[in-house]
Structure 1
Amino acid sequence: MVLEAIESQKKQSDGYVVPIGVSARHVHLTQEHVEQLFGKGYQLTKKKELMGGQFASNETVTIVGLKLRAIENVRVLGPVRKQSQVEISATDAIKLGVKAPIRESGKLAGSAPVAVVGPRGVVYLEEGCIIAQRHIHMSPADALAAGVHDGDIVSVKADNERGTIFNHVKIRVDDSFTLEMHIDTDEANAAKIATGQTVSILRN
């Protein structure tokens, strides 16, 4: 898909072309919380490799909001982190009855509380539930070619029948990243766009 995006970029004049990756709801856990949910000494098992050394694990959990509304079979991503985090869509937040803010991953101060239920226990997070800010992962070479820098905020256009423009898209640059814009399922459905399709960073 990335090769197709690069090839199509040669035919585009609007801006730098980026493939889309639609992110479903998921959970990041500390090792302590992994053990609380799955058992003492438990290690996450790898299902699928993701960018930046991350992976989708075989393990899933149930997330529960303050009104005891639950969503089951939420995928855990590895490896373990220093702080547990639940990423959901705005529709999920309504279902759970939580006021999850739109945040960059890892920016959890003052975010929504949520409970995480596993086969061997429960973890209550006083904060940690967010709606992920839309963002683009880039290698330094991609950033140079696109004329952007880590932390920049850009606008992006989906040039399809919906013609959606996404504003407030954050650029994230790292040597381990593969070029891809991440949006959640609500955003993808509203724009009628799917994983593997492309968007263009609008030129200033």
Structure 2
Amino acid sequence: MSTIKEILEPNRVKSLIHEGGVKTIPVGVSARHVHLSPEHVEVLFGTGYQLQIHKLLSQPGQFAAKETVMLAGPKGVIDKVRILGPARGKTQVEVSLTDAHRLGVSPPVRDSGDLAGSSPITLVGPNGSIYLHEGLIIASRHIHMSQEDALDFQVDDGDNVFVICQSERQIIFSNVKIRVSPNYRLEFHIDTDEANAAKLTNDDNVVILKTT
């Protein structure tokens, strides 16, 4: 088992990144976005409305929609926030901490789908608006993996790992949760605040380190 001191040693980090056979994981930077339930799609865009594909995302079956909404908080608004499709069971809004300050809200850091007791937010579309009593979060950083990837990296669904960033501003992220599903493509997901802090962009690569 590696200690925190060993992990933070620069030579240790370099050897993990550069030694032969080390497997890397591509980065996916997640900007602010909204997932809508089918009912809320209709409230915001009209009865019978279907989200239109703007571009496909790296995760299979997921897409950035052509449609956007405005987020309204107690202190400000953010316009043209992209909706991600397809529609899902419950509406969820994901922002960065910087976005939260702009809106005047204090959302918790949560795993996707863990919305109980999360922050309220108002969504405004061309056909109507919705006040969510809960549903606004800052998404926890995580890694998507297929079952084959999990075997390859010797991790299990729900494990927490360290992520080592090979960038000019080298950062080690702790408590990064592994999410395993046959529907996932290998990718490390962080928000824009975290990416900027580490000077990471889409398709950069990172390595993981288990400590238990």
TM-score, structure 2 as length reference: 0.88
Counterpart position of 1:192: 199
Unaligned runs of 5+ in 1: 1-8
Aligned-pair CA distance for 1:12: 4.0
Once superposed, what is the RMSD of the aligned Cα atoms? 1.6
Deviations 1:70-115 (A, max 9, x none): 0001000111111100000000000000011000000000000000
Is it true that 1:21 corresponds to 2:28 in the alignment? yes
Task: Report the identity percentage.
Answer: 56
Give distance in 1, aligned partners of 2:18 and 2:182. 27
TM-score under structure 1 length normalisation: 0.91
Q: CA deviation at 1:203?
A: 3.9
Taking a change above 3 Å as real, the CA distance of residues 16 and 172 of structure 1, as seen in their structure-2 partners, is same
Measure the CA separation in 2 of the matches of 1:14 and 1:98. 44
In structure 1, how many angstroms separate the alpha carbons of the residues matched to 2:201 and 2:53?
24
Name the amino acid aligned to 1:136: I
TM-aligned CA deviation for residue 159 of structure 1: 1.9
CA contact (8 A) 1:113 1:127 kept: yes
- Counterpart of 1:100? 107
Quote the residue 2:183 is aligned against.
176
Q: 1:21 to 1:86 in 2, by over 3 A?
A: same
Rg larger in 1 or in 2?
A: 2
Residues 121 and 131 in structure 2, CA contact (< 8 A), matched pair in contact too:
yes
Does the aligned pair in 1 maintain the 2:54–2:65 contact within 8 Å? Answer: yes
1:166: which partner in 2? Answer: 173
Of the three residues 136, 147, 151, the one matched with 1:144 is: 151
Q: How does 1:106-125 map onto structure 2 within 5 Å?
A: 106-125=113-132
Distance in 1 of aligned mates of 2:17 and 2:150: 17
| Distance in 2, Cα, partners of 1:87 & 1:182 | 12
Structure 1 contact 16–202 (Cα < 8 Å) conserved? no
1:31 aligns with 2:41: no
Aligned equivalents of 1:101, 1:191: Cα separation in 2: 22
